Amino acid sequence: MSEEKAVSIRRAKFAALATKRVNKATQAIRVIGNLSNRSNYEYGEADVQAIVRELSAAVTSVRRRFSTGSDANPDSFRILP
């Protein structure tokens, strides 16, 4: 019985954290989309490709971590002026 209770607590914790973190990440991606406003920002196709490539790599890393359980050590993303 104790093991069943521990699993349900772990599941509840996962569900709560996953909900918060996915909503936060989704909002951050929407805010990145605001950078597409050319009346406020200047950027080139290479910048767009770099952003999309980095976001895709992050999603691929998450997918890999869920399927293999391996830990990732991502580098910070940066666009130079």
Given this model, what pLDDT does residue 73 score? Answer: 62
Residues lower than pLDDT 70 in the chain: 1-4, 71-74
Q: What is the pLDDT of residue 81?
A: 76
Q: Tokens 């989704």, residue?
A: 26
Amino acid at 13: K
pLDDT at 7 (0 to 100) = 73
Q: What is the pLDDT of residue 69?
A: 79
Q: What pLDDT score does 4 carry?
A: 67
In the chain, DSSP finds a helix count (H) and a strand count (E) of 2, 0
